[in-house]
Amino acid sequence: MKILVIGATGAIGQAVAAALAVRHDVIAASRSSTAYPVDITRHESVQALFERVGRVDAIVSTAGGLHFGPLGEMTAAQFKIGLHDKLLGQVDLALTGQHFLNDGGSITLTSGIVAEEPIAQGANASAVNSALEGFARGAAIELARGIRINVVSPNVLQESMDVYGAFFRGFEAVPASRVAQAYVRSVEGAQTGRTYKVW
């Protein structure tokens, strides 16, 4: 299969690209990529990426930023960071990407454990991740031509504990290589409208 991985320079993205590249042709795109740059917060950037890559068999997104901070100090502008980036950015990838997928193709998005297990200073993340999972359930019953859509919901990564560990006290971190297998399952499997939890 020809698979487009967006967010391929991040910890999860690198692991996913490596796992899929064993059997498939992987195109690695990210905000920092020189070969396939994309900013998912800008529709014109998303559209340009798909037009350049052309038709694919699978789209995988591990991209998207969030805002972490105390609710009592959070502003509407800060809350919108996650809405415009991780939520609407990934939704745009799905809405635009469906038209570049071959029949029977798939879309895999990324949410996170805080959709169900909220943490202090994580209200933005909980809202965004929950919305992504709801979007996938709704989209799954309407996508045409046998196209499937799923979401992977990972726990905090072992590789990211130095950055996010303070937010996830008591959570059992998982390795990116284990998380990557859920994306493989989504791409190579047959299910749709599912959220694969790697907790």
C-beta of residue 36 within 8 angstroms of C-beta of residue 6: no
- β-strand partners of 58: 3, 106
Question: pLDDT tens, 88-114?
Answer: 999 999 999 999 999 999 999 999 999
The predicted pLDDT at position 109 comes to 99
At residue 192 the predicted structure's pLDDT band, cuts being 50, 70 and 90, is: very high
pLDDT computed for residue 155 by the predictor: 98
- Percent of the chain, pLDDT > 70? 100
Output the domain CATH number for residue 114: 3.40.50.720
pLDDT for 52 equals: 98
The pLDDT score that the predictor gives to residue 162 is 95
- Read off the pLDDT of residues 124-182 as tens digits, 9 standing for 90 and up: 999 999 999 999 999 999 999 999 999 999 999 999 999 999 999 999 999 999 999 99
In 49-100, beta strands by DSSP E: 56-61
Backbone angles phi, psi at 151, to 5 degrees: -130, 140
Q: Report which of 198, 165, 179 is spatially closest to residue 68, judged by C-alpha positions.
A: 165
Amino acid at 118: P
Per-residue confidence (pLDDT) for residue 86, from 0 to 100: 98
Residue entry with tokens 């933005």:
124
| pLDDT for position 106 | 99
What is the spatial distance between Cα 198 and Cα 195, in angstroms, rounded to a whole number? 10
Domain assignment of residue 148, given as a range: 2-198
Question: Residue 64: its pLDDT value, please?
Answer: 97
- Output the CA angle 54-100-90, nearest 5 degrees: 110
User: Among residues 83, 185, 68, 122, which one has the least CA distance to residue 197?
Assistant: 185
Phi (first) and psi of residue 157, to 5 degrees: -80, 145
- The mean pLDDT of the chain is 98
Which pTM does this prediction carry? 0.97
| Total domains, the chain | 1
According to DSSP, the β-strands at 148-154 and 101-110 are parallel
Please give the average per-residue pLDDT across 33-49, as a whole number.
98
